Amino acid sequence: MKLATIHKLGGFFLIAGAVLLATYSVLFLSLFPLSDIQKDFSSVVLSPPWIGLAGIAFAGVVLMVFGFAAVYSRLYQGAGTLGLVGFVFIEIAYLLQACKITWEIFVYPIIAGNSSSTGLLRDGILRDHYLFHAFKAGASASILLGTILFCLTLVRCKEFPRAAGILVFVGALVYGLGPVLSMMVAIGGIVVFALGCLLLGLELIRNQRGGGVATVGK
């Protein structure tokens, strides 16, 4: 398969992933008010839309993994060590997010539906456990570190619009720090991040090149 074809497919994956994540963020707030989540998270998990909505998020994350791989394949010869490290951490961050969502789809409903274990979600036992906090900290650190380094390469190079790198950076930063402030802020970060990914995907689709050389500005 030609590299140009991989770029084009990666662009479609990135756009589709961005649309799915933006859709997820809007529907999540519409279907699950924050007051309900804080009051009894187990009842939210057992609501009919939960699994389908989590499935949308999972599909979006998986598509993003392949989409960013296509972005890096356009940059790798000029990205340098920082670009490589940023790409690795971004992929790790998405893998961690995918792991989290699989629990939301396959494990949380079982816990919430069993009277002997529902307290793990209802009373915040899982949420307050130090291992859960460690997982969230690792995921947030991966997103922030990977995005800072990778977006620095995007902004400096001439392969993609600088606005795309800036939007991806700001969106990921807000999403990473958002939960400390509010769920609304975190979801707003996802929307901004998705806009940046949309620009990256369109660039991959429109400008096909056989090589993967990136010209980095001084």
pLDDT given at position 176: 65
217 φ/ψ angles, rounded to the nearest 5 degrees:
-70, 155
The answer on pLDDT for 201 being more than 90 is: yes
Confidence (pTM): 0.85
Angle between the N-to-C axes of helices 49-106 and 183-206, in degrees from 0 to 180, rounded to the nearest 10:
90
Angle between the N-to-C axes of helices 130-156 and 49-106, in degrees from 0 to 180, rounded to the nearest 10:
110
Structure tokens, 39: 């009051």
81 φ/ψ angles, rounded to the nearest 5 degrees:
-65, -40
Q: What is the pLDDT of residues 13-27, one digit of tens each?
A: 999 999 998 898 888
Q: Helix, strand or coil for residue 13?
A: helix
pLDDT given at position 78: 77
Q: What is the pLDDT of residues 30-44, one digit of tens each?
A: 888 767 677 788 888
Q: What is the pLDDT of residues 128-181, one digit of tens each?
A: 899 999 998 888 888 888 888 999 999 888 789 999 999 999 887 787 676 556
User: In this structure, are residues 67 and 193 in contact, taking their beta carbons and an 8 Å threshold?
Assistant: no
User: In this structure, are residues 67 and 17 in contact, taking their beta carbons and an 8 Å threshold?
Assistant: yes
pLDDT given at position 214: 42
> For residues 162 and 63, what is the distance between their CA atoms, to the nearest angstrom?
22
CA 9 to chain centre: 19
Indicate the domain borders of the chain: 3-206
Can you list the positions of beta strands (E) in 3-138? none
Q: How confident is the model at residue 188 (pLDDT cuts 50, 70, 90)?
A: confident
How large is the average pLDDT for residues 197-203? 93
User: In this structure, are residues 118 and 112 in contact, taking their beta carbons and an 8 Å threshold?
Assistant: yes
CA 48 to chain centre: 24
pLDDT given at position 181: 63
> For residues 30 and 38, what is the distance between their CA atoms, to the nearest angstrom?
15
> For residues 209 and 1, what is the distance between their CA atoms, to the nearest angstrom?
13
Q: Which residues contact 174 (CB under 8 A, 6 or more apart)?
A: 185, 186, 188, 189, 192, 193
pLDDT given at position 212: 41
Q: How confident is the model at residue 29 (pLDDT cuts 50, 70, 90)?
A: confident
> For residues 86 and 146, what is the distance between their CA atoms, to the nearest angstrom?
4
pLDDT given at position 6: 87
pLDDT given at position 191: 85
pLDDT given at position 171: 86
**For residue 102, what is the DSSP state?**
H
